[in-house]
Amino acid sequence: MTLEIGTTSLPHVRWNAETELRKAHMRDVGRIHTLIKYWAERGFMLVRSHEHLQENLRDFFVLEDQDGNIVGSGALHLLSDQIAEVRGLAIHPDRQGQGLGRWLVLAAEREARDLGLPQVFAWTLQVKFFLSLGYSVTSREYLPDTVASECGVCPFFDNCRETAVVKPLNALQ
């Protein structure tokens, strides 16, 4: 039996190429998909289909470097008038630890604040990353029912390894 884990490879990118943050465009879908698939195959996040990405494209931000590579993705998904989820967070393996993940999370938080939402949350295995950004650990029960209904269709519902983290948004930040 062949166990195929982590078969997706990404083209190398320059670690010091200048990078711009922008909202995602339909032409980015394939490359966002590949980036998320890369980390999903390594167990860090849920894989998202092309269809899901197309339907939810307005949620997404990307980081594009000066060579035209997509080196990061992240999204803000509205769940109620009280809370939105930061999701789809993926940084190219050659660009880890350069503040790009933080940049995407802050962009999602800014959008949530601009929309008048009082808090954001995320499901994650990278708890320390979110703690460093002012999130605190919470439980599924604390989150609104819309979250529970999304969890209900997740393939890992009975075997969830992720931790829920939440952050109140101060309007003055």
Ligand X SMILES: CC(C)(COP(=O)(O)OP(=O)(O)OC[C@H]1O[C@@H](n2cnc3c(N)ncnc32)[C@H](O)[C@@H]1OP(=O)(O)O)[C@@H](O)C(=O)NCCC(=O)NCCS
- x/- binding map, residues 24-53, to ligand X, per CB under 6 A? ---------------x----xx--------
Nearer to ligand X, 27 or 128 (CB): 128
Here the tokens at position 130 are 């979110």
Q: What Cα–Cα distance (Å) separates residue 96 from each residue in 10, 16, 102, 123, 150?
A: 14, 11, 11, 20, 29
CB of 1 to ligand X, least distance (A): 27
Range in contact with ligand X (rule: CB under 6 A) among 14-22, 96-104, 112-120, 137-145: 96-104
What distance in Å separates the CA atoms of residue 72 and residue 39, rounded to the nearest whole number? 12
CB of 100 to ligand X, least distance (A): 4
Nearer to ligand X, 81 or 129 (CB): 129
Nearer to ligand X, 15 or 142 (CB): 15
Site for ligand X in 118-147 (CB under 6 A): 122, 124-126, 128-129, 132
Of the candidates 75, 76, 100, 120, which one interacts with ligand X according to CB under 6 A? 100
Number of continuous H segments (helices) and E segments (strands) in the chain? 5, 7
Here the tokens at position 81 are 């008038």
Nearer to ligand X, 14 or 102 (CB): 102
Cβ contact 150:77 at 8 Å: no
R_g of the chain computed on alpha carbons = 16
Nearer to ligand X, 131 or 148 (CB): 131
Range in contact with ligand X (rule: CB under 6 A) among 18-26, 108-116, 117-125, 137-145: 117-125
Place of tokens 């010091």: 16
What distance in Å separates the CA atoms of residue 79 and residue 54, rounded to the nearest whole number? 18
Q: Which residues, 6 or more positions from 57, have their beta carbon under 8 angstroms from its beta carbon?
A: 24, 25, 26, 29
Residues that bind ligand X (CB under 6 A): 39, 44-45, 89-91, 96-102, 122, 124-126, 128-129, 132
